[in-house]
């Protein structure tokens, strides 16, 4: 033991780091911050370090070349011992990191920690969030599979909508005119050098500022932040009622960090690595690309926005959102910290969380996407063709063959792009059905040029049978008057 102490002294005589480290570790923190609510920042840092380590491990095998990246991932999954596990830890680590950073941000906001004098800590945190999302997207690109390839195309399409500079931005992003080798290489450089470098610098600043300014005290309703008095009040609080961070508060951080690492490892073990999906071969077009979990909400938004709103929302939305986040501590730098006295803050968080959650949930079903194989794969349920006439059955065939099923469901199978047609006859009369089929409208293509009159007749006759038992199909009353209730022409009155 004496030997170790001597060696330690020898090093510290030269490094002179022991004193500042001890000072940082034992700096007094308000006692009530030794809380399970205050563990998310250190957890994010822990996951970041885990990502650095597993990322370096993956780089030992991964080849950042458009021709070989996909096969090097296959090798990691199947050939290299435990390669699959390291990939899985890195992939799940990324999901956890995004989630923890978001939770950390919500906690900080609800506890008023963004207020004076911690405005800059918050602003740097906003940049850290953006970089984390940047890592998530570029990481998805490095998993150079079909989803990555077409995901890049979506990114390029969005970037190209920037006025005037659009085409330039696209070429800069792709490193050339198309998604190819240079694209992967530059995303590799971003993911492995540029963003991690910035992350390390900004995380260091972020942590340094927490040490210098002190951790945010537990907010009490009525204890209002004032620029003139806050700092002296805080120092008084930590001087009189504070406790050293180590060991008073740190043990909860340690336990939670360990728990998170084990949770990531458990997910990696149970669910395995993400992909890669099909090869990044643009001639294989039988694919329906979907983004990773944390961008699903965007996928939903892009499907649901009205076309005219899309470009403005895509270009202005992020700018407004980022500006709002950056300006937040300057607009509300003083006043109440407690969430109990900030109903608008709580409602805003709830609204954003519910919106993002709903969009994410919807994107898992993607009701807006046609089911490309429904027309050939999904059967027409028996009850819709049982006891039908030859013409009606012919109509059911037209219904399948013309791919109506890709967007319309029958008996809960088929696409959900358009309305379900299980009871369409109750909603639309014969004339309305004919008009809708031939002219389209309301987000449905016009089928007039692709259906012969005979096919249209058969199809409409079939659609007219689609109504619940005991519920009559819709009828046009004027037609009854003109043609008679039976649909037959009323015979001219006898002379």
Kindly list the residues in this chain that would bind another protein in the complex (CB under 8 A).
Answer: 65-68, 149-150, 153-154, 156-162, 166-168, 170-172, 174-183, 185, 279-283, 285-289, 299, 302-303, 305, 307-308, 310, 368-370, 372, 375, 401-404, 406-407, 417, 440, 443-447, 449-450
Of the candidates 202, 188, 209, 214, which has an alpha carbon nearest to the alpha carbon of residue 45?
A: 202
- Compare residues 33 and 140 and give the one whose CB is closer to another protein: 140
At 306, phi and psi to the nearest 5?
-60, 140
- Compare residues 448 and 484 and give the one whose CB is closer to another protein: 448
- Compare residues 30 and 415 and give the one whose CB is closer to another protein: 415
Two tokens at 436?
């809708």
- Shortest distance in whole angstroms from residue 49 CB to another protein: 31
- Shortest distance in whole angstroms from residue 76 CB to another protein: 17
Helix (H) or strand (E) holding 148: helix 146-159
- Compare residues 143 and 206 and give the one whose CB is closer to another protein: 143
- Shortest distance in whole angstroms from residue 281 CB to another protein: 4
- Compare residues 207 and 434 and give the one whose CB is closer to another protein: 434
Query: What is the rounded CA–CA span in Å between residue 81 and residue 178?
Result: 35
- Shortest distance in whole angstroms from residue 352 CB to another protein: 23
- Shortest distance in whole angstroms from residue 447 CB to another protein: 7
Query: What is the rounded CA–CA span in Å between residue 159 and residue 311?
Result: 10
- Compare residues 448 and 487 and give the one whose CB is closer to another protein: 448
- Shortest distance in whole angstroms from residue 157 CB to another protein: 4
Whether the Cβ atoms of residue 444 and residue 434 lie closer than 8 Å to each other: no
Whether the Cβ atoms of residue 240 and residue 26 lie closer than 8 Å to each other: no
- Shortest distance in whole angstroms from residue 353 CB to another protein: 24
**CA 49 to chain CA mean position, Å:** 23
Residues paired with 225 in a beta bridge:
335
At 210, phi and psi to the nearest 5?
-65, -40
| Number of continuous H segments (helices) and E segments (strands) in the chain | 23, 2
- Compare residues 114 and 408 and give the one whose CB is closer to another protein: 408
Task: Give the strand pairing for 28-30 and 242-244.
Answer: antiparallel
């Amino acid at each position: 033991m004496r030997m170790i102490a001597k060696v330690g002294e020898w090093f510290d005589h030269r490094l002179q780091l022991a004193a500042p480290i001890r000072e940082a570790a034992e700096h007094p923190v308000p006692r009530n911050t030794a809380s399970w609510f205050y563990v998310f920042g250190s957890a994010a840092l822990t996951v970041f370090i885990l990502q650095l380590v597993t990322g370096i491990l993956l780089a030992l095998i991964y080849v950042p070349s458009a021709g070989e990246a996909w096969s090097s991932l296959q090798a990691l999954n199947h050939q290299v011992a435990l390669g699959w596990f390291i990939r899985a830890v890195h992939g799940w680590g990324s999901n956890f990191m995004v989630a923890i950073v978001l939770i950390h941000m919500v906690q900080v906001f609800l506890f008023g920690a963004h207020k004076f004098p911690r405005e800059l800590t918050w602003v740097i945190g906003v940049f850290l969030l953006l970089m984390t999302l940047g890592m998530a997207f570029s990481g998805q690109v490095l998993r150079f599979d079909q989803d990555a390839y077409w995901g890049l195309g979506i990114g390029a399409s969005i970037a190209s909508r920037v006025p005037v500079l659009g085409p330039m931005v696209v070429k800069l992003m792709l490193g050339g005119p198309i998604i190819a080798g240079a694209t992967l290489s530059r995303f590799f450089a971003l993911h492995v050098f540029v963003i991690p470098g910035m992350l390390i610098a900004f995380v260091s600043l972020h942590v340094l500022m927490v040490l210098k300014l002190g951790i945010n005290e537990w907010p009490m309703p009525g204890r209002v932040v004032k620029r003139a008095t806050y700092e002296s009040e805080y120092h008084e609080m930590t001087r009189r009622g504070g406790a050293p961070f180590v060991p008073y508060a740190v043990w909860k951080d340690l336990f939670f960090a360990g728990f998170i690492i084990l949770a990531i490892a458990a997910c990696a073990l149970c669910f395995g690595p993400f992909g890669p999906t099909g090869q990044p071969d643009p001639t294989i077009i039988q694919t329906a690309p979907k983004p990773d979990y944390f961008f699903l909400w965007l996928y939903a938004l892009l499907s649901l926005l009205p076309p005219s709103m899309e470009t403005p929302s895509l270009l202005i939305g992020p700018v407004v959102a980022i500006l709002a986040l950056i300006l937040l501590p300057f607009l509300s730098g003083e006043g109440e910290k407690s969430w109990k006295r900030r109903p608008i803050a709580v409602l805003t968080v709830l609204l954003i969380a519910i919106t993002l959650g709903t969009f994410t949930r919807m994107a898992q079903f993607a009701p807006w996407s046609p089911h490309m194989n429904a027309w050939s794969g999904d059967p027409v349920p028996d009850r819709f063709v049982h006891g039908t006439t030859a013409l009606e059955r012919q109509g059911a065939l037209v219904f399948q063959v013309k791919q109506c099923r890709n967007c319309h469901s029958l008996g809960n199978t088929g696409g959900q792009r358009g309305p379900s047609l299980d009871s369409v006859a109750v909603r639309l009369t014969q004339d309305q059905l004919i008009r809708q089929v031939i002219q389209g409208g309301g987000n449905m293509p016009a089928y007039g040029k692709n259906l012969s009159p005979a096919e249209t007749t058969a199809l409409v006759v079939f659609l007219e049978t689609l109504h619940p038992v005991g519920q009559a199909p819709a009828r046009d009353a004027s037609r009854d008057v003109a043609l008679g209730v039976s649909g037959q022409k009323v015979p001219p009155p006898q002379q």
